[in-house]
Amino acid sequence: MRLKGIRRSSNVERRGSGTRRMGGKSSLGVAGVLAVLAIGYFTGIDVSPLLQGGSVQQESRGAAVGDDAASTFSAQVLTTTEEVWTNVFRDQLGRTYEPPKLVIFDGVTQSPCGGASGASGPFYCPADSKAYLDTDFFRALDRQMGAGGDFAAAYVIAHEVAHHVQNELGILPKVNAARQRGSEAEANALTVRLELMADCLSGVWARNVKGLMERGDLQEALNAARKIGDDHLQRQAGRVPQPHTFTHGTSEQRASWFGRGYDTGAVGECDTFAAARL
């Protein structure tokens, strides 16, 4: 992704180092621990209990050079989302876009939606209109999930911003209210549609930054979408996929809806709640 010359967004909040809890006596083994952590990174679920109470804590550390580079990259990607959604809101929706804040943290931090850590993964909190991102996220994306590349990382930032777009449009509060009224299975089904819509909106963003894309960038994003599908993640954790527990959609659904947004560039084409089939 060509970001040279792209300014860093001022809507970034950088928080200091924290303490990491990595689990010492887990019976999962190294591969199992990595798989569980990966699920946490990409589903927004705190998987600490799955690590079976490991108690080894690493010392707090300051941001490394790589973290500084990741912060700069994230701030530049956030700028592209601000520019794209300002134009899309104006041209397609006749509205004014109010961008979110991006909180970049190291280790652990707090949000109105609860504690944030490397195990909880990137997420958007509608209570304060902020997206939260651990600085270790990009390494996990590349090394643990096999979804490397700068555009893959940019896609996930765009996905969290897409949840803010949903919040701005009033979709997120309506779906949250419906989830609270339904059963667990019904709530999961609604969440899948919400997440696939965010993938589609991420595709709309990608179409509008074509001038910044390099050869292979689109494939990086599609690969990342497939790597973070519920079915793939459950298999990675050694489980048989259970569709009724899905909260983000299958690998193919995620890639397909991202592709739909990319191909059309239209917010109106991202209405997963009106779709008979996902």
Continuous H helices in the chain? 29-43, 65-88, 137-139, 150-168, 171-181, 184-208, 217-227, 230-236, 251-264
Q: For the chain, give every domain's residue range.
A: 12-274
Q: How far is CA 248 from the centre of its chain?
A: 10
Q: Is the pLDDT of residue 2 over 90?
A: yes
- Cβ contact 196:258 at 8 Å: no
Residue that the structure tokens 């997963």 belong to: 272
Q: Is the pLDDT of residue 278 over 60?
A: yes
CA dihedral in degrees (254, 260, 261, 264; nearest 10)? 180
Task: State the pTM of this model.
Answer: 0.81
Q: Which residues contact 37 (CB under 8 A, 6 or more apart)?
A: 47, 118, 119, 140, 144
Q: Is the pLDDT of residue 83 over 50?
A: yes
* The residue type at 229: G
Q: In Å, what is the CA distance from 127 to each residue of 41, 123, 164, 168, 244?
A: 21, 12, 11, 12, 28
| 177-212 CB burial, b ≥16 within 10 A, e <16 | eebeeeeeeebbbbbbbbbbbbbbbbbbbbbbbeeb
Instruction: Report the pLDDT averaged over residues 171-185.
Output: 94
H or E segment to which residue 21 belongs: strand 20-21
Average pLDDT, the chain: 81
Q: How far is CA 170 from the centre of its chain?
A: 19
* The residue type at 232: H
Instruction: Report the pLDDT averaged over residues 190-209.
Output: 96
Smallest Cα–Cα separation from 147: which of 227, 217, 236, 257? 227
Smallest Cα–Cα separation from 204: which of 251, 166, 247? 166
Read off the pLDDT of residues 135-174 as tens digits, 9 standing for 90 and up.
677 777 777 677 778 898 899 899 999 999 999 999 999 9
Please tell me the predicted confidence (pLDDT) of residue 6: 95
Q: Is the pLDDT of residue 191 over 80?
A: yes
Instruction: Report the pLDDT averaged over residues 91-116.
Output: 92
Q: Which residues contact 140 (CB under 8 A, 6 or more apart)?
A: 37, 38, 41, 118
DSSP 8-state secondary structure symbol assigned to residue 169: T
